Chains A and B, each alone.
Chain A
Amino acid sequence: MAANTDRRRINAPSGGTSAPVFAKTVLESGYLQSLRPNRTRGPNELRKTFLQTGIVPSASGSAYLEVPTASSSQSTLIPPTSSLKIAASIQGPKPLPRSAPFSPTLVLTTTVKFAPFATRHRRGYIRDSAERDLGVHLETALRGVIIGERWPKSGVEVVITILEGDEDAWWGDSGAEGGAGSGFGLLNVLAGCITVASAAIMDAGIDCVDMVAGGVAAVTGDGQKVLDPCPAEHQDLVAACAVGYLASRDEITEIWLKGDVGADPDELIEGATHAALGSVSVLREVLLENMEAKMNITKEGSKRKLEDVEMTG
């Protein structure tokens, strides 16, 4: 963190914040571990997803995605799992600046930024290498789906703000404090970024060959394959894979494998595409619902209040 110290602003302490330590966890050796969250959903079951488009009026397209946290138990201040909250906004397509060279296709720029408070380990105001890395992965995922030839001499900016990111481990683990976790949380963040950016692009009305959605699958220590792994619920993840998947074309535009996959990575990748199918169904429902609402507005000339619908992935 010392490398990109921001001297112009007042920075918070670079170390993570710690939940209060209660005497009971010190006195009873097994008590802390008893608080550890367990995966209650099935191995093929995804977490619930909330998605909404059109949240930023000034942007040409925008979307917000949330994967809520599991219900918190009363006996501890340690949150059981981290949740995922991502906002995406699209600027453009707009003419390229004068300095930019001629481009016969759409110029795509992606910016991914964690809010300083997004993870337990505070992020700086300047983009660090993990954020730039996520930006490149997201750009790869979107580039394969956008029909760039329809927009010559134009640029579009995809700006992603991660308000809360999935942690790499459970907060109760002391090792998670250093921020040097397994890195499996980042895969969840990438999959969320792909899904929310896709929704925002549809909202902006930019031509795409298909709807791209993100999905994650992982292998646990005993060789079991789980979809949509939450690192806090799994202490023993061995490998994980995030994909950007085009459901109706059965194509993959982005793939990120992490960990020791073993001899057969195909099964893991296939699992991730199954998880992406869940995200696509959420995307599809949200977009159809928005379109119907918009058509009702234009027909009746009156604004209908959108009700929130709880959807399962």
Chain B
Amino acid sequence: MALPTLALPGTLLGPASKYAPGPGTHIHDSSVYASIAGTVASSPSLNPTTTRLPLLSISRPGEAGASDNGNILPEVDSQVLARVTRLGARFASAEILVIAPSAATSISSDAAVCSTPFAAQIRREDIRATEKDKVTVQDSFRVGDLIRAVVISLGDQGGYYLSTAKNELGVVVARGEGGEVLVPVSWREVKDLRTGRGEARKVAKPF
């Protein structure tokens, strides 16, 4: 059976033995059905070791790139860009602004900007991987810092739980008191180029 170009929710796309369900589809009675209205695309499987079936996905019409896609939610293991909003003794609060698609390993041009920021928390023990007992929140982040982090849990009613316990995760943009951009000099320090004054941060490793 040939695939339709356009699908509406409930449209039969094909048997589950021939296709794998991707975004915008679901399985019912061992067949793949559409679950949103949009254009049907079939792509080769992402990891051919586990399954050889082509992945069926449906994209909403009018989504040229993913940049205007406001309909994405943070998932466990997805990389995000967030802004620190509050510092506490045991955790820092942040708001998630940009989410990388779950298949991608890092934030690139096809990351999605959230239509509304999602509340998140970074617990003190999730800030860095080693010497967790010596970490202080105050010496790792400042309010207003942009951080790259990974979602480790959907959390409770409060917010998503983020972690920066990897080399490539941490503060990517830091600003000083006067609003000047601070440049990283090591994995734990940023400096003001003009005055030479240093501040402590958990800095993300540049690519």
A residues engaging B (CB < 8 A)?
A: 60, 93-96, 98, 100-102, 145, 147, 151-154, 202, 205-211, 246-249, 284, 287-288, 290-292, 294-295, 297-298
Q: How far is the CB of B162 from chain A (nearest CB, A)?
A: 14
Of all chain A residues, which has the CB nearest B63? A298
Closest chain A CB from B9 CB (angstroms): 4
Chain A's nearest CB lies how many Å from the CB of B98?
Answer: 15
- A152 proximity list for chain B (CB < 8 A): 73, 154
Q: What are 28 A-B pairs with beta-carbon distances under 8 A?
A: A94-B116, A95-B118, A101-B157, A102-B156, A151-B73, A152-B154, A154-B73, A202-B8, A202-B9, A202-B36, A202-B37, A205-B36, A205-B37, A205-B38, A207-B9, A207-B35, A209-B9, A209-B26, A210-B10, A246-B10, A247-B10, A248-B12, A249-B10, A287-B37, A290-B61, A291-B37, A291-B38, A294-B62
B74 shortest CB reach to chain A, Å: 9
Identify which of B28, B37, B64 gathers the most chain A CB atoms within 10 Å of its CB: B37
Interface string of B118-156 (1 = CB under 8 A from A): 110000000000000000000000000000000000111
- Chain A residues lying within 8 Å of B35, measured Cβ to Cβ, are 147, 207-209
Take A208-B35, A209-B33 as given contacts and tell me if A298 and B62 are in contact as well, using a CB distance cutoff of 8 Å: yes
Q: Hey, which chain A residues are within 8 Å of B9, CB to CB?
A: 145, 202, 207-211
* Contact status B157-A100, CB under 8 Å: yes
Min CB gap A192→B, angstroms: 20
Q: Give the residues in chain B near A209, CB-CB below 8 Å.
A: 9-10, 26, 28, 33, 35
Chain B interface size, under 10 / 10 to 19 / 20 to 34 / 35 or more: 20 to 34
B residues with a Cβ closer than 8 A to A are: 6, 8-12, 24, 26, 28, 33, 35-39, 60-62, 64, 70-71, 73, 115-116, 118-119, 154-158
A288 to B12 Cα, complex, angstroms: 16
Give the residue among B64, B71, B119, B156 with the most A Cβ atoms within 10 A.
B71
Residues of A within 8 A of B28 (CB): 209, 249
Enumerate chain B residues within 8 angstroms of A206, measured Cβ to Cβ. Answer: 36
Which of chain A's residues have a CB closer than 8 A to the CB of B70?
A: 60
- Whole-angstrom distance between the alpha carbons of A249 and B11 in the complex? 10
B61 touches A207 (CB 8 A): no
**New A-B pairs, 16, CB < 8 Å, besides A153-B73, A208-B35, A298-B64:** A93-B71, A96-B157, A98-B157, A98-B158, A147-B35, A153-B154, A202-B8, A207-B35, A208-B36, A209-B35, A210-B10, A246-B10, A249-B10, A287-B37, A291-B38, A298-B61
